């Protein structure tokens, strides 16, 4: 089922994404209730939405909160700190979840999130991807820049798009930078902002090139959705790039109004792939 239920539960971690997802769902006519994770959720960002505090170990209380609010669909969004399992307070259901995590203690954070997501689904809930909401938001009809890609920019976007699609089964990255038909860099562990910085040094000229960003085919879109936002645009402008191409319904624009304002201010374009 592609549609997300009107009542959406959000397990909110760090950063802006939980509030962006809440705003997006309300815009689409839904309602939300948020489980705010102690030490991670920025309450100032979600204060206008229904929310309740939870420790990660109180999984039973958290799921009961969603049940009381008639929630079946849940989105897990934002970073979550790895808990100190020795001092973590747990309830009965939380102790079962923690035992599953302990069995996988050598896994990375992403895989631990999958353990949590699978456990929640085993209790009758559905972990949904933010991508399900993005399908109905249609950024490309709402957030348009005054600057448009040139013919060369479009060719560079096509090169980057083909590259990322071919690399989709490899856990390499979500972004690439292409300049004048040449691939300057592919995102690795350093993240998008550092990719932007290092590729500036590889250009022949002081200006030019395009950032292309999309989800990987191997990516668990329930738990890890690519994003761009004002910080991305700041670095693109600072280092002299022409614009950015993002996958339709595959990339979240954090603070979209501010992001478009920055793009226009710096005469950069956004293209939806």
Provide mean pLDDT across the span 232-249.
95
The answer on pLDDT for 145 being more than 90 is yes
Mean pLDDT of 113-141: 85
Position 2 pLDDT exceeds 60: no
Band of residue 102 on the pLDDT scale cut at 50, 70, 90 = confident
- Which helix (H) or strand (E) covers residue 271, if one does? strand 269-272
pLDDT of residue 1: 41
Measured between alpha carbons, how far is residue 152 from residues 19, 149, 195 in Å?
37, 8, 21
Instruction: Tell me the pLDDT of the chain averaged across its residues.
Output: 89
Whether 211 contacts 244, CB under 8 Å? yes
Alpha helices in the chain (DSSP H): 17-27, 43-46, 59-68, 92-103, 109-122, 131-134, 139-142, 151-166, 192-200, 230-238, 256-265
- Give the model confidence (pLDDT) of 22-35 as tens digits: 998 998 889 999 99
pLDDT higher for 1 or 92? 92
- In contact, 264 and 147? CB cutoff 8 Å: yes
Q: Quick one: pLDDT at residue 250?
A: 85
More confident residue, 100 or 231: 231
Whether pLDDT at 64 is above 90: yes
Q: Which domains does the chain have, with CATH numbers?
A: 7-134 (3.40.50.20), 139-272 (3.40.140.80)
The confidence score (pLDDT) of residue 85 equals 66
pTM: 0.84
pLDDT (tens digit per residue) in 212-225: 999 876 667 777 78
pLDDT confidence band for 191 (50 / 70 / 90): confident
């Amino acid at each position: 089922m592609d549609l997300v239920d009107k009542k959406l539960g959000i397990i909110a971690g760090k950063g802006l994404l939980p509030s962006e997802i809440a705003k997006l769902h309300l815009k689409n006519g839904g309602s939300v209730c948020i489980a705010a994770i102690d030490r991670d959720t920025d309450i100032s960002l979600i204060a206008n939405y229904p929310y309740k505090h939870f420790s990660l170990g109180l999984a039973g209380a958290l799921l009961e909160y969603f049940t009381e609010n008639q929630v079946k669909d849940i989105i897990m969004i934002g970073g979550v700190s790895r808990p100190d399992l020795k001092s973590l307070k747990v309830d009965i259901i939380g102790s079962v979840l923690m035992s599953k995590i302990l069995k996988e203690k050598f896994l990375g954070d992403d895989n631990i999130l999958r353990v949590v997501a699978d456990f929640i689904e085993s209790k009758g809930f559905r972990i949904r991807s933010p991508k399900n909401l993005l399908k109905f938001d249609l950024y490309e009809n709402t957030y348009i820049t005054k600057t448009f890609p040139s013919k060369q920019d479009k060719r560079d976007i096509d090169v980057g798009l083909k590259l990322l699609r071919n690399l989709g089964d490899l856990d390499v990255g979500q972004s690439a930078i292409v300049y004048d038909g040449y691939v300057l860099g592919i995102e690795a562990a350093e993240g998008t902002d550092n990719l932007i910085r290092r590729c500036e040094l590889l250009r022949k000229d002081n200006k030019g090139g395009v950032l292309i960003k999309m989800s990987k085919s191997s990516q668990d879109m329930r738990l890890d959705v690519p994003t761009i936002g004002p910080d991305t645009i700041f670095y693109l402008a600072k280092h002299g790039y022409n614009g950015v191409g993002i996958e339709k319904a595959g990339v979240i624009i954090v603070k979209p109004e501010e992001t478009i304002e920055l793009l226009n201010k710096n005469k950069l374009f956004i293209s939806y792939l």
